[in-house]
Chains A and B, each alone.
Chain A
């Protein structure tokens, strides 16, 4: 069965430091991979996606993610964290363009001033 794992419930990072939010997936074939962010009382917002091409994908708000096929990972990164990045982050995957998206359970990111 397809699945997405986010091994950390919470990640704490000092403002200005680089951040990484981890994600691994178990999806058949060549996966479509996504990151979404959820702020309090707001819907999920799309950050970035990987479908094909360059393994390093750049997205909104300075975030990027690196696709690693051998490790079946798609970690979210940012070189310098902001306090405003504090939110709940979801990794997601799909088998193909028309397949349903499977979400991980989410990682709460705390950026400390």
Chain B
């Protein structure tokens, strides 16, 4: 079974430029998460989708960040414009609703460097 796929793995941009990250979750997983991981810190949730619906986006900085999951499968996270402080690793995770807890499976992340 393929895991969570993210692309690109690395991205270097100049400040004020736009950037987009893509995530393909594990097949059949209806819940998708985007996390931000700063250096030396644990992941912090940005947004959670249940199918196409964003059920928790309270931590998403909506002035510059946006996300979509149009068909309830793939998802894109966008930053426009990027700032120096956005340099971090952006993680995507997915889970199904089976069982007593929806164990999350993480992708390898996209490391963003803003110059």
Interface string of A30-50 (1 = CB under 8 A from B): 001000100001111110010
> Is the pair B45, A101 in contact by a Cβ cutoff of 8 Å?
yes
> Is the pair B41, A105 in contact by a Cβ cutoff of 8 Å?
yes
For A, the interface residue count at a CB cutoff of 8 angstroms equals 21
> Is the pair B56, A100 in contact by a Cβ cutoff of 8 Å?
yes
A8 CA to B39 CA in the complex, in Å? 16
> Is the pair B56, A106 in contact by a Cβ cutoff of 8 Å?
no
Closest chain B residue to A38, Cβ basis: B106
A101 CA to B107 CA in the complex, in Å? 16
Q: Which residues of B contact A36 (CB under 8 A)?
A: 106
> Is the pair B104, A46 in contact by a Cβ cutoff of 8 Å?
yes
Q: Which residues of B contact A103 (CB under 8 A)?
A: 42-44
> Is the pair A46, B105 in contact by a Cβ cutoff of 8 Å?
yes
A32 CA to B100 CA in the complex, in Å? 10
A-B interface, 10 closest residue pairs, ranked by CB to CB distance from nearest: A103-B42, A43-B106, A44-B106, A43-B108, A100-B45, A43-B107, A105-B41, A103-B43, A90-B42, A105-B42
* A interface residues with partner B (beta carbon < 8 Å): 4, 32, 36, 41-46, 49, 51, 90, 92, 97-98, 100-101, 103-106
